[in-house]
Structure 1
Amino acid sequence: MRNRYTYKTLPVLVGAMVLFSSFKAVSQSMSLNSKLGANKITLSLTQKGELRYRITRRDKPIIADSPLGLACDDQDFTAGLSLVKVSPVAERRENYELKVGNVKTIDHTFETRSITFKNKSGALMIIDLVTGQEGVAFRYRFPDQAIKKRQINNEITGFQIEKKARGWLQPYNKAGKVTPGYEDFYLNIHPGDSIRNPRNPSVGWCMPALFQVNEGKNWVLLAESATDGSFPGCHLKPDSRGGLYTIAFAEKDEKYTLPLSENHYPVSTLPWTMPWRVIIIGEQAGDILLSSLITDLAPAAKLDDTSWIEPGKATWSWWSHPEDHSPDRYNQFTDLAQSLGFGYTLFDAGWEKADKEGGIIAKATAQGIKPMVWGYSERFFDPEKRRKRFKELAAMGVKGVKIDFWCSDRQEVMACLDSLFKDAADEHLLVNLHGTTVPRGWHRTWPNFMTAEAVLGAEHYFYESRYPDLAAEQNTVLPFTRNVAGPTDYTPFALTIRKYPRLNTAAHELATAMIYTSGIIHFADSKESFDSLPVSVRQLLIDMPATWDKTESIVAQPGEQLILARQQGKFSYIIGINGTNKVVPVKLDLAKYAKGFSKFRVITEGEDPLMNFKTETYPVTSSWQSAFAPKGGFIIQFVNE
């Protein structure tokens, strides 16, 4: 649906009265409150003309006094600034639907305001402000017209977090063989802590970055939205002394095998609108998990017809048979998809030879299964080659592409991804990105963008010795961080023991398929593993939706426990996972989730918690009591039978 805007004028100070008013008056004129007054951002200028901002919620500090400004090759906007004008407050409504999300239909209203500054040479810079019930955002804009390109050498934007806060941050890995790819552990830190024991050498912290502030009374997520080809993806610098986290651009050596230039700084002609700096705020961690502020700020959908875009579930042979690229193996997983009622199967690396030898794509389409195929990023970087290849794949019957090994947040890569989504949509192809950056609201703008990796997922039972011990804890952090940024291809349900033996229970692994939000859920593991499942678990996989109409947070404790209620159409579930090594009591009020149902089915750990399931069915009562097994999980499905 299109955005709808209405405007209402508030008193503002203009002209000389603004320029020469007291510091207090100027600060007040540069404030913006959310409609009900909970969230507020206030800008101010120091005596040296340095721009600052602060954010409060119910008058309590969330982001303390922090710097704003840009240092460019031709102009400086870090000092010597003066106020030009403050726009009236406008009301902005975002009413739209997501193909992939915690909630299908979004309808939010925001307050907006734009504040214009000039530097000593008279060049203009605008700060756009947005406030809403879920948080605050701001972005920079250069309104002048200029054919000559401007380069930003440094963005001094900072986020001052109180030293007593707790944080969950992921190291931003230095460019390497498969990095940066947002595949490191989220570390529980305090502001000012240095990066410790990352998986790979690191040059900063990733966004989204989660903090608990205000003596534990508020939660904050720092993120980005609406990054396109005019700007690189950004992270946070490693030095956060005093709790000040500052913006860093993608690194120069983030090239992997892509033909990128030597210049890694943001460059654009004018006018130039930059991405949103997003500060999501909540009173509970669950408020962060459920926020849609990142997609609210992203451009509206650019596709008029999205009827061909269908979320779904996919079989995937690589995790269980990484070296077997035979037609027989791929065909086996096509058959498995059909038997489970999945709509998709993914043919990973090596599929082209198998298709030539055995016609695996034709077999899948003949059985009503939609094939997706793997590809290497370099093959899709050149626009003409990409469009030609997409046409070839669509003509073969391919319905989606998994494009791997981007390993860069550079501006050229952001531009490529934006074009790639469009080119894929032109051929009615779905997109799954791997070895990639985190999404930044793109699944609203391009609804055919279904999911992305950028997560320390189940494949790391192959690669990371620390993963089994930390996986359960990470699974209760990522829904409040990575998955808020956008759909997450975690590749759940990895039961077979791999190089580094799993410690999470089988019920925990099953539950991750319903905890993470992904437009296409790519299930790991072998046909034998699926065939060995009890009837109740197999039926759950058949029934399980791939996306949701509604999600509610029941228990939200990052690093400890997570319990969600999720509904889609006639299906209603409660899903929980334990991130700790302890037995944790669970007590749930079922009444509000069981309307229209007479019974509920519970799937938990069986005799061997690591491999077995237990299923019990009860009549609906007002409450249910149980206990999480260590690193355990459960799924409740409401039924009538």
Structure 2
Amino acid sequence: MKRKLITCYLLLFTAFTFAQEKSLNSPDGKLALTVKLTDGKISYTVLYNNIMMLEDSPLGLISNVGDFSKELSIHSTENNTIDKKYKQDRIKQSTINYEANELTITLYNKEKQQIEVVFRISNNDIGFRYNLPQFGETASCIIEKEITGFNLPEETTTFLSPQATPGIGWKRTKPSYEEEYVPDEPSSTPSKYGQGYTFPSLFHVGNNGWVLVSETGVSSKYCASHLSDGTKEGVYSIAFPQEGENNGFGSTTPAISLPGSTPWRTITISNNLKPIVETTIPFDLVEPLYEPSQEYKYGRSTWSWIMWQDNSMNYDDQVTYIDLAAEMGYEYILMDALWDTQVGYDKIPELIKYAQSKGVDVFLWYNSNGYWNNAPQGPKHKMDNSISRKEEMKWLQSLGVKGLKVDFFGGDKQETMKLYEDILSDANEYGLMIIFHGCTLPRGWERMYPNYIGSEAVLASENLIFNQHFDDMEAYNACLHPFIRNTVGSMEFGPVLLNKRHNRTNDGGTTRKTSDIFQLATAILYQTPVQMFGIAPNNLTDVPAFEIDFMKEVPTTWDETVFIDGYPGKYSVLARRHKDQWYVVGVNAQKEAIKLNVNLPMMAGKDVKLYSDNKKSEPQFSETKIKNSGSVNLTIQPNGGIIITE
């Protein structure tokens, strides 16, 4: 009799446990999400090909109107399918077909207040967020803490960039997402500043695969987040901005109107790096927030500041770079910081008119500053409030300026997110494209804001001028970006520095360690729809003509991106297609040349141009034919590159 009672109890317990679990699979069945409620707490696990990639990971949040982290019960669940086709002209792929399975779990807390957790799972990608209804007459709330975590298996190593302490760095401009990555670091290693890690965050789960964690859909309605330091068990949690960001102004916790939603947390998972590099999940989960006021034109730009620095911001030097843009057939010139005083508000219209007479349009630099750091460059106090901003933008529109590069932001608080959105939405009204610099990571913004172009949020090319260390590490960093930073959003790097020495006369300053072909390859490797290239006027005569010819023809928008081969921090080989033309590029950060056999079906049987380095890192150009099988043997020299194009 006792044995029968035990058997009945076990059956009841099993049924109860089953009732508290809900599973959701990707369309191809390889990615499996299980959500469960245990002792009133909700969590999730993720398997890929039946291998655990995320262990029991917490969910929930705490608000000032209710605690949704404990004593929860499942009220209902609902399943849907998502089939969305859209076009996007500023990311790694122009036509996207997003297919996903959706699960909405409605929970009640002990006060019978409701919260929904919405999961969408596509092949290799998971997105989830929280929805809160209005609670009676309570039409807003503060999210005091997000419990959301990511529990990585014990064998995991990390590729993470630390979140900087607010107010450190040059003129107190950090955090600006410009910290260095540590490759294959043991999980749960404390971060450099003790402030956790920035998105996106890449994890290598032993021999089992890869996990990329980030977020998307962050607007003025929420703050941007990052990851906490990992616990000893390997749990990394959502962390809100720090008190000192934005010079201490604004709340570290987000406020939302009700009904309302949090941003999407995103996870990309695979047993190989191809889905990590090719993911479109930051854009799949969001929608445009407003219509474009006009059709925006993307392209290439010259930029005097990167090589000639502050003193080049004068009328004559800008004419030189306008002429360089015209010679190269480029669409734009960027006139960087200090134009307001060193060219002057009275002379800049004349300079813009000269550029337009040469078929070159203009981007102008602005300091975002109100009060959040001490960055001195002007123009200042033009972008930080709506009155001055709209007045300035109306004037810029009258001159035919096409875009702005806005610099030196203060952090990730909701207050700062609102400033980003206000600049973008106001600029659209005046037909202006926007690039952000000294800034946060973009989070789905290419799709959300039609005039958004790109963000720095990386150790960009300016650091090659400032410090030899970054020249020594240039190839290593280049072999990280396609897998981490640039895979989730447009990256305004300012690539292709063909001077051997980084100064005006090519004979002083820091020394470039990478080859010319490596530099050309970064024009393809780094994705953003308006590229501010670092070429200088002297390059028209002091590098081989085939390099300049390549730079005259290189596109900046892509219809398709395909990962070919690579490992973060070691080497990277990508293929990108612009219209009917394919480009395959590779770069190598290792101390020895690498020999690869790769399959390029998109070029099978075709005549192609080959750009490569010899053993002395000297540039070479030849023409060849790809085998009908598409099989190609590649040799990429250390600190070198390779390019194959039709």
Q: Normalised by the size of structure 1, how large is the TM-score?
A: 0.90
Say whether 1:398 aligns with 2:401: yes
Deviation at 1:518, TM superposition (A): 0.5
Could you tell me how far apart the structure 1 residues matched to 2:533 and 2:579 are? 22
Say whether 1:221 aligns with 2:209: no
The match for 2:7 is none
Q: Which runs of 5+ in 2 are unaligned?
A: 1-11, 370-381, 503-508
Could you tell me how far apart the structure 1 residues matched to 2:284 and 2:274 are? 18
Aligned 1:208-607 pairs, distance under 5 A:
208-213=200-205, 215-256=206-247, 261-300=249-288, 302-303=290-291, 308-324=295-311, 325-353=313-341, 354=343, 356-357=346-347, 359-378=350-369, 379-496=382-499, 497-498=501-502, 499-590=509-600, 592-594=602-604, 597=606, 599-605=607-613
Could you tell me how far apart the structure 2 residues matched to 1:57 and 1:27 are? 22
The match for 1:627 is 635
Could you tell me how far apart the structure 2 residues matched to 1:86 and 1:465 are? 56
Deviation at 1:520, TM superposition (A): 0.5
- CA deviations on 1:10-55 (whole Å, 9 max, x unpaired) are xxxxxxxxx9994422243x322222222222221122x1111111
The one-letter code sitting in structure 2 at the alignment partner of 1:352 is D
The match for 2:131 is 141
Match of 1:24 among 8, 12, 17: 17
Deviation at 1:438, TM superposition (A): 0.6
Say whether 1:192 aligns with 2:214: no
Could you tell me how far apart the structure 1 residues matched to 2:615 and 2:99 are? 51
Residue aligned with 1:162, SS:
coil
Could you tell me how far apart the structure 2 residues matched to 1:55 and 1:302 are? 35
- CA deviations on 1:360-381 (whole Å, 9 max, x unpaired) are 1111122221100000113323
Q: Percent identity?
A: 27
The match for 1:637 is 645
Asked whether the 8 Å contact 1:27–1:42 carries over to 2, the reply is no
Could you tell me how far apart the structure 2 residues matched to 1:220 and 1:99 are? 27
Asked whether the 8 Å contact 2:26–2:124 carries over to 1, the reply is no
Q: How many residues align?
A: 604
The one-letter code sitting in structure 2 at the alignment partner of 1:316 is W
Could you tell me how far apart the structure 2 residues matched to 1:366 and 1:551 are? 36
- CA deviations on 1:152-178 (whole Å, 9 max, x unpaired) are 221111100012112110111111212
Q: Would the alpha carbon gap of residues 389 and 594 (structure 1) be closer, same or farther in structure 2, given more than 3 Å must change?
A: farther
The one-letter code sitting in structure 2 at the alignment partner of 1:419 is D
Asked whether the 8 Å contact 1:152–1:265 carries over to 2, the reply is yes
- CA deviations on 1:320-367 (whole Å, 9 max, x unpaired) are 111221111111111111111111110001223415336211111222
Deviation at 1:624, TM superposition (A): 3.8
Residue aligned with 1:349, SS:
coil
4+ runs deviating over 6 angstroms: none
Deviation at 1:626, TM superposition (A): 4.0
The one-letter code sitting in structure 2 at the alignment partner of 1:194 is P
Q: Would the alpha carbon gap of residues 64 and 447 (structure 1) be closer, same or farther in structure 2, given more than 3 Å must change?
A: same
The match for 2:177 is 182
Match of 1:44 among 31, 36, 43: 36
Asked whether the 8 Å contact 2:74–2:108 carries over to 1, the reply is yes
Deviation at 1:591, TM superposition (A): 5.4
Deviation at 1:383, TM superposition (A): 2.2
Could you tell me how far apart the structure 1 residues matched to 2:284 and 2:580 are? 27
Q: Which moved more, 1:142-151 or 1:336-345?
A: 142-151
Deviation at 1:608, TM superposition (A): 5.5
Asked whether the 8 Å contact 2:310–2:337 carries over to 1, the reply is no
Deviation at 1:607, TM superposition (A): 7.9
Asked whether the 8 Å contact 1:124–1:144 carries over to 2, the reply is no
Asked whether the 8 Å contact 1:147–1:269 carries over to 2, the reply is no
- CA deviations on 1:92-122 (whole Å, 9 max, x unpaired) are 1221111212211101111112111111112
Asked whether the 8 Å contact 1:84–1:118 carries over to 2, the reply is yes
- CA deviations on 1:213-234 (whole Å, 9 max, x unpaired) are 2x42321100101011121110
Could you tell me how far apart the structure 2 residues matched to 1:241 and 1:385 are? 50
Say whether 1:71 aligns with 2:77: no
Could you tell me how far apart the structure 1 residues matched to 2:569 and 2:77 are? 43
Match of 2:622 among 616, 624, 630: 616
Could you tell me how far apart the structure 2 residues matched to 1:530 and 1:490 are? 22
Asked whether the 8 Å contact 1:165–1:216 carries over to 2, the reply is no
The match for 1:7 is none
The one-letter code sitting in structure 1 at the alignment partner of 2:272 is Q
Q: Would the alpha carbon gap of residues 26 and 590 (structure 1) be closer, same or farther in structure 2, given more than 3 Å must change?
A: closer
The one-letter code sitting in structure 2 at the alignment partner of 1:105 is T
The one-letter code sitting in structure 1 at the alignment partner of 2:309 is P
The one-letter code sitting in structure 2 at the alignment partner of 1:600 is V
Asked whether the 8 Å contact 1:590–1:621 carries over to 2, the reply is no
Could you tell me how far apart the structure 1 residues matched to 2:148 and 2:280 are? 23
Q: Which moved more, 1:534-543 or 1:347-356?
A: 347-356
Q: Which moved more, 1:411-420 or 1:315-324?
A: 411-420
Deviation at 1:572, TM superposition (A): 2.0
The one-letter code sitting in structure 2 at the alignment partner of 1:317 is S
Deviation at 1:430, TM superposition (A): 0.7
Q: Normalised by the size of structure 2, how large is the TM-score?
A: 0.90
- CA deviations on 1:394-443 (whole Å, 9 max, x unpaired) are 11110000000013111011122223222211111111000110111110
Match of 1:159 among 140, 150, 157: 150
Residue aligned with 1:562, SS:
strand
Match of 1:103 among 89, 93, 102: 93
Deviation at 1:619, TM superposition (A): 3.6
The one-letter code sitting in structure 2 at the alignment partner of 1:406 is F
Q: Would the alpha carbon gap of residues 25 and 504 (structure 1) be closer, same or farther in structure 2, given more than 3 Å must change?
A: same
Asked whether the 8 Å contact 2:36–2:43 carries over to 1, the reply is yes
Residue aligned with 2:246, SS:
coil
- CA deviations on 1:496-538 (whole Å, 9 max, x unpaired) are 3234422222211221111011011111142112442322111
Could you tell me how far apart the structure 1 residues matched to 2:547 and 2:582 are? 16
Q: Over aligned residue pairs, what C-alpha RMSD do you find?
A: 2.0
Could you tell me how far apart the structure 1 residues matched to 2:81 and 2:24 are? 11
Could you tell me how far apart the structure 2 residues matched to 1:42 and 1:97 are? 32
Q: Would the alpha carbon gap of residues 126 and 590 (structure 1) be closer, same or farther in structure 2, given more than 3 Å must change?
A: closer
The match for 2:378 is none
- CA deviations on 1:258-317 (whole Å, 9 max, x unpaired) are xx74422111221121100100112321211110011001224632665x2122111011
The match for 1:119 is 109
Say whether 1:130 aligns with 2:120: yes
Q: Would the alpha carbon gap of residues 413 and 531 (structure 1) be closer, same or farther in structure 2, given more than 3 Å must change?
A: farther
Residue aligned with 1:35, SS:
coil
Q: Which moved more, 1:132-141 or 1:378-387?
A: 378-387
